[in-house]
Structure formats: structure tokens, C-alpha cells
Chains A and B, each alone.
Chain A
Amino acid sequence: MKQFFNSFTKGSFLTKLSFFVMGISHFFKGQWVKGIIYLSVQIAFFIYMFSYGFSAIGKLKSLGTTEQGWIFDEEKGIDILVAGDNSMLILLYGVFAIFITLAFLFLYRSACIQGYELEQEIKRGKKPLSFRQEIAEYGDSFLHKTLLFLPVTGVVVLTILPLVFMILIAFTNFDRHHQPPGNLFTWVGLENFKAMLSSGSTLGKTFFPVLAWTLVWATLATSLNYILGMLLAMLINKKGIKLKGFYRTIFILSIAIPQFVSLLVMRNILDDDGPLNVLLENAGIISDYVPFLTNATLARISVIVINLWIGIPYTMLITTGILMNIPEDLYESAKIDGATPVTQYFRITLPYVFFVTAPYLITQFIGNINNFNIIYFLTRGGPATLDYYQAGKTDLLVTWLYKLTVNSKDYSYAATIGILVFIISAVFSLIAYRRTSSYKNEEEFG
């Protein structure tokens, strides 16, 4: 900012003028192509703002005031549509206009500063770069900018812009009672968060139990996968085990099958009338079917166990590599000092593996909080319960969010849940990551 004001106060008249007419100093100081580009950008921006932009931003405040209406046309015998405001489009275009404005301001600032720098350079007796030379720079010393251009544009346009749009929806009443284009929706401030977080409300009574189950699930799914995967890796790694490669291949085979395929197969196998129940019944072990996926507690256990089957191979794969890298002499000297295998595990193996995989563990935990696939393909969130609003006993926050958008079109609540999940994940991972030794003792590895 300081640089920007300096350019204005210290700049010559032409530089000052370029604060109002972009590119004019470039134009008169030898960089005329650049000057024209700047000027045309400014003109394009003003045209856009005066024709769409200002009204788009202005409408953001109310998100529309005129509802769609109809006028009866006697002659034709049908109604004629009088289009009203579409709150969703107003919000979208408003956000878009703000992005354009921000982009323009950024450009404007750099153009002004560049103008001043150009002036300084000419004073120092340097010849300004021609347009062709500048373009050549982008293939040479500015190559990183050229390469980053597409990814950054992509991220801004395809990720950040929609993200802002959806975050804003959490502060509106865009639910099933306010569906455009027939209805308008408007800002409600923090109402949705209040409805979600007050324990007595319909949504709150669902939010907290679902959140609790989400955390229980994420903790169990992550830790069990990790511990069992590591044990499996150690078992296979043990001296004296033959056919190591064969065992590893067998376990990794389950990764080769697309996850949703194995999940849907599992769903069928565990069905009330599925093969497993029929098998057990025919063998005389049970007299009535076991509700693996239709009883709340059993369904929760089934989901976690099936997740083990899917997740263990990954942990095994990762830890195998690390285990093979632990220097053998550590174990030998421990043995000489008389350490038991248990002590060896807790003093050597575990710290070693944990040091390397702590960030992986955090990612897994966050991934499990948002583990849509397992829940959706296995149980669809079921069994349904009368205690929750639009959710079942195995629903995670993310699958409940999905149901709210798809089944009941309560977009505003879904967006609210999305933000809350983000806050929970972000806070957890930041705290957890900063406490890991991989962060604290970065230098000490090995």
C-alpha cells in the first residue's frame, strides 16, 4: 500500500495521470502496447461495472425484491410470465462482480506502481523494455509465472469463487421454502448457526448426536486401521516368515478393486436376507437373521469392521517401507541390553513409525470425518431413526449434509454444516499437527 501512495506522491504528472487513466504513462514512455492493454482493461471494466457490475453488487444487499409474477393475456388465453428477481443468480453475479472488482483493483495497483517504476528507470537512463522483450521474459526469467498462470486461474475460478458463493449461502434462508425462481431468499445472518447449534431445536437435536458419532467413527476407524495395519506389516516383516511377497500381494489385492464395488458387494452380503445370513441360518448357527446393517449398534460396528478390511492394506503398505528402514543395529543393541520385544516395540518401532506417519494419521482422521463413500454405499446412513431429523443412525455429518441437499433442498443448513465441519477439521488438524514430533523436531529425523 505504501508503495502505491509513494508512487502517487513522488511520481511525475504523467504518472499521476495514469492513476486515473490506466496505462497512459506506459503509452507515452515507449511501452505503448502495454499502455493500450491497460487502457482497454480499464474501459472493459468500466463498461462491465456500469452495465452489470454496480447493479449486481447493489442487489446483493437485499438479494432481490420482486417476486416472479403472471399477467393473464386475454387474446392468447394464457398467462404471460413477468420475470422476477432470482436470488440465487443475484448472489452468484454479485460474488462474481466482487471478484472482478478485486481483480481489477489488484491490476490497477500494480499498473500504477509500474508506471512509477518506469519513470524512475527512465530517469536512471535505462531504455524501457519493448513489449516483445517483456513477453520474452515470460518464457525466461518469469517462466514460473507463465507456468502457474493456468493452475492459479483454475483454482480461483473453479474453487475459490464457488466456495465463497456456498459459504455465503449459509447466511441466507435458501431452504426448501425459498426456492428460486418462484421465491426470493434473503440474508438471515447467523440464524442457521443458531438453529444448528442450539441443543433444543430440531436441527440441534440431530446435529450433536451425529457429530458425536462422526467423531467416534473417525477416531475408531483411524486408530484401528493404523494399529492393525502396523501389526500386520510387522507380522509379515518378521524374520522366519516365508513367502513375504505373496502375503503382501494378497492383502494389497483388495486395493485393486474399486472401493464402491467392494462396498456394494458387502452391502449385499450383509443384507438381512443376504448370503451371510442365509449361510449362518442354513448351518444352524442362528435361527433368525442378524440385522448387520439394520440395527443401529450392529450397523455401526459393521461399518467400522468393513472399513478395517478396506483400510488396513494401505497402512500395511506404508508401514512396511518404514519398518524395513529401521536400522537393525538398534534392535541388536537393545537385545544386548536385555530389552523384551514389547519394550523394543514401544521404544524403537512405535516412535520411529509414528514420527514418519503422524501427518498421514491426521489426514486419515480428517478424511474419515468426511468419509462419504463407506457410509453412503454401505448403509445409506441407515437405519433411520425417529430421534433425528432427516438422518439415520450411521449418518456422518457429511452424509447428513448430502441428504439435506438432495432430499429436502435445505441448502442453507447444508452449507452451515459444511462450514462447521470445516472449522472442526481445521482446528483439529492445526492443533494436532503442531504437536507432532514431525513438526517440532523436523531436524531430528533418523
Chain B
Amino acid sequence: MKKFITLTVSVIIIALTFAACMGGNNVSENNNGQVDQKETVTLRLWGAQDDKDMLTKLIADFKEDHPEKNWKISISYVGEDDAATEVLKDVSAAADVFSFSSDQIATLKKSGALYRVTNNDIKTRNSKPSVMAATVDGEIYAYPSSSDTFFLYYDKSIFSEGEVKSLESILAKNTGDKVTNFAMKIDDGWYSSSFFFTAGCTLFGENGTDATKCDFNSEKGVMAANYMIDLVRNKKFASLDDAKIKAGFKARTLGSAVSGTWNAEDIKNSLGDDFGVAKLPTIKLGGEDRNMISMANFKLYGVNAQTKHPEEAHMLAEYLTDEDAQETRFKVRSYAPTHTDLAEDEETLSSNEVVAALTAQSKHSILQTSIDQVSNFWTPAEAFGTGLIDGSVTKENVKQKLDAFVNAVLASTNNKEEESTTGK
């Protein structure tokens, strides 16, 4: 036994020593690079699978526009919504430049994964909300690329343009037994929060950065919740997820539904000439018609804090989000631009009805919060929605349920944590 262990261990140690040495060599080689002619810069980019063709083309253009260096840029496909999870697995192994949704920016910044953007032009040439979305603690940490929110899809053979202006008129129309007038996923906080926002509530304070504030259980919140209770009880409403919304439009059993750009193509294919899009309808709250407020999200390009080539990575990120790139994105992928020149060019934008609807809705949207406390929001929001659907949330106990909702959103796991932060 002794000999055996002796051997085992010695082999392990020798192997490890070799491994360590080899690792060291690799790093130093990378640092040396090749200085003889053109500098070779190796960059890795993470983007969404659907943007594959567009990104490939943009990279080719980038190489052409910057011939002073020998570029080796590889693209891997990591969706914007998974970016934070993937990057934070190991920041040093993540891509040099990656695209992500703005709701992850605070987490990414806090974990030290983002490089600060010191080019102040970004601030002036992008729309204010998009710059806000890229800002953490007063500093910009990412390059805005496109804006995103949800809006209303409708079947023109069922509703006219005038009828989809208010939710009351959508629900009032008699469309027969088979057709659901209005659908949205009410057990998903991303959509359901819009009722609370419309009523005037805020999540995590005015700026969405205060982890101790959420007033969904205020009088306004109760008003919004009561509206939701009535809505869910209405036979003309259904809480449907994306797949069912698409299926509903295809089967022509759905009049209108709330969803985002990612479903535009499918719904357009199902509805053909009857395809209609509009900003979200108004709802009657406290005696007045208010436009429904949506959570807005931005797609951003960030630079990895641990990149070996910070200057070049910033160059690439900037290139991928400049005016030309945003225009390509708009034309090829129907993404709403954040660049002010493009975003204010209503003539061009209205050529694409989906982007036009999105832009119209953007005026009635609030920025989706990105602080990490938000990971406490989704599950209670889902639970509250489930309660609405199964009828366990009633007008009698709604205040209680909202209190529980808010408690869960603001819950802190560690009492000690609170003490130490207040102590500072």
C-alpha cells in the first residue's frame, strides 16, 4: 500500500508541476505577442445566436475599417439573457466583449466583470433612457445598442386601430365564444408589473436602485391589484405564455396580446395582412384613462474587466454599437435603435411597424431595475399572478397578499448583512 501511495502521489505532484509550468509559459507567450509586423489581437465576442449573420458581417466590416492590426475575432453564441450567468461563472474565461440585457448591469458591475466606459461621446449620442440603463453609480459601464420593451399585437380582422387604444374597449367587444379578446402572461413580473407602474407604484424606489423600497402594497398598488382581479375574472381575458399566444394567433382564437419583438416574425407569418401592432392600451384606473407603462430593457455591449486588450475591446464594442451598426441592426433584425439620430428619425422608424409600435410604447415605459435584489422579485410576482389565476387572491384579502408580496420582494436572507451595511 505504501509503495502504491508513494507512486500515486509522486505522479500527481510531477504532473501538477508540469501543468503549472506549462500554464505559466502560455500566459507569457500571450503577453509577448508578435510585434514583428502588425500586432495580432485576439478578441472573443459573445452575442445572440439569432444575430449570427449580422454579427459576422459587422466583424468583417470592422476588420476592413481597422487594417492597422491583425485581428483574430471569434464569435460564440450566448444569449443576452444568459450573459451574466455565463460571464460570472468565470470572468477571466469569458469573452472580451459580450452583449447583455440592461437588467444585469448592476450585478455584472458589482461582481467586477465590467470595464468602465470613459468615452463620453456615448452619453451624448445615445438616448437618455439608454444611457441611464448603461449607468451604474453615475458611471457608464456599457455601450447601448438597442431598446426593447413589450407592446400590443392584434388581429386586424377582429379589432380596428381605434379599438385597441383602450383595454376597456378591447374587452367590451363581442368577439364570439371562441375568441379571447386580450391575453398577457399575468404570472410573470415582467408583464404584470405594468399594472402597478401604471397606477404609480415604483419598484426599488424612483430610480430602481433602492433595495429597501417597493410600494406595491400602497393604496395605488391595491387599486392596480383590484383591476387585475377584475381582468383575470373576465372571460374575455386569458393568461397565456409566448407559445400559447403564438398558437392563439395562428388559430385565430386570439384578438390581441401583449408580447415583445422576439415574437414579431412568427405572429406576422400567422396573421398575414391582419397583422397589427400598437403601443399598449390605456386602462381606467381611479377614474382616468392611463396608458399602460411597460418595463423597458436595453441591449448593451460590455467589455470584460479582465480582457487582455482593453483598448481594442473598447474599440470593437463601440464599433458594434455606433450609428451604422445600429442602422444595420434595425434594418436586418428590426431592433429599435438607441442612437439619438436614428431614434428620432420617425420617418425611417415608421417604415417598420413593429419598431414604430415599440418606439411609441417606449415613451410610456420605465427602465427595468438591475440591482441584484431584483432576483427576489420574479418568484413572488409569479406567485401573486398564480394567486390571481387560481382565485386565491380576492378583493377581500388583496391588501394582505400584497403585503406578503412586498415582504418577499424586500426579504433579506441574512440579518447580519443588514447590520453591517447600516453600520457603514
When distances are taken between beta carbons in the complex, the residues of chain B under 8 Å from A44 are 13-14, 17
Residues 364-419 of A contacting B (Cβ, < 8 Å): 382-387, 389-392, 406-410, 413
Stretch of A175-183, A238-246, A422-430 at the chain-chain interface: A175-183
Residue of B nearest to A271 (CB): B244
**How far in angstroms is the closest Cβ of chain B from A89?**
9
Asked if B305 and A81 make an inter-chain contact with CB atoms under 8 angstroms apart, the answer reads yes
When distances are taken between beta carbons in the complex, the residues of chain A under 8 Å from B390 are 291, 294-295, 383
CB < 8 Å neighbour of A294 from B3, B389, B401, B414: B389
A163 at the interface (CB under 8 A from B): no
Asked if A149 and B413 make an inter-chain contact with CB atoms under 8 angstroms apart, the answer reads no
Number of A-B contacts (CB under 8 A): 177
Asked if B10 and A176 make an inter-chain contact with CB atoms under 8 angstroms apart, the answer reads no
How would residues 346 to 387 of chain B score, 1 for a CB under 8 Å from any chain A CB and 0 otherwise? 000000000000000000000000001001101110111011
> Which of B6, B187, B415 is packed against the most chain A CB atoms within 10 Å?
B6
When distances are taken between beta carbons in the complex, the residues of chain B under 8 Å from A50 are none
**How far in angstroms is the closest Cβ of chain B from A407?**
6
Residue of A nearest to B310 (CB): A78
Given the known inter-chain contacts A142-B4, A386-B408, please indicate yes or no for A179 contacting B416, CB distance below 8 A: no
Given the known inter-chain contacts A68-B305, A180-B111, please indicate yes or no for A175 contacting B414, CB distance below 8 A: yes
Given the known inter-chain contacts A294-B390, A409-B88, please indicate yes or no for A386 contacting B372, CB distance below 8 A: no
- Chain B interface extent, by class: 35 or more
Cα–Cα distance between A134 and B6 once the two chains are bound (Å): 13
When distances are taken between beta carbons in the complex, the residues of chain A under 8 Å from B118 are 72, 77-79
Cα–Cα distance between A138 and B389 once the two chains are bound (Å): 69
CB < 8 Å neighbour of A183 from B8, B16, B110: B110
Cα–Cα distance between A394 and B155 once the two chains are bound (Å): 38
Cα–Cα distance between A226 and B401 once the two chains are bound (Å): 41
When distances are taken between beta carbons in the complex, the residues of chain A under 8 Å from B305 are 68, 81, 181-182
Residue of A nearest to B111 (CB): A179
Asked if A79 and B372 make an inter-chain contact with CB atoms under 8 angstroms apart, the answer reads no
When distances are taken between beta carbons in the complex, the residues of chain A under 8 Å from B413 are 175, 195, 201-203, 389, 410, 413
CB < 8 Å neighbour of B9 from A76, A104, A390: A104
Stretch of A108-116, A208-216, A248-256 at the chain-chain interface: A108-116
CB < 8 Å neighbour of A202 from B12, B310, B379, B412: B412
When distances are taken between beta carbons in the complex, the residues of chain B under 8 Å from A177 are 110, 372, 417
Residues 375-424 of B contacting A (Cβ, < 8 Å): 375-376, 378-380, 382-384, 386-387, 389-390, 401, 404-405, 408, 411-417
Asked if B416 and A191 make an inter-chain contact with CB atoms under 8 angstroms apart, the answer reads yes
Residues of A within 8 A of B (CB): 37-38, 40-41, 44-45, 47-48, 52, 68, 70, 72, 76-81, 83-84, 100, 103-104, 106-107, 110-111, 113-114, 134, 138, 142, 145-146, 148-149, 152-153, 157, 173, 175-177, 179-183, 188, 191, 195, 201-203, 273, 291, 294-295, 382-387, 389-392, 406-410, 413
Q: List 26 A-B contacts (CB under 8 A).
A: A38-B6, A41-B10, A48-B16, A78-B115, A78-B314, A79-B310, A103-B13, A104-B13, A110-B2, A114-B3, A138-B3, A149-B8, A173-B417, A177-B372, A179-B88, A191-B414, A191-B416, A195-B415, A202-B413, A294-B389, A294-B390, A384-B379, A384-B380, A389-B379, A389-B408, A409-B88
**Which 9 A-B pairs have CB atoms at the shortest separation, nearest pair first?**
A182-B112, A145-B4, A110-B2, A384-B383, A179-B111, A384-B382, A386-B404, A408-B375, A182-B111
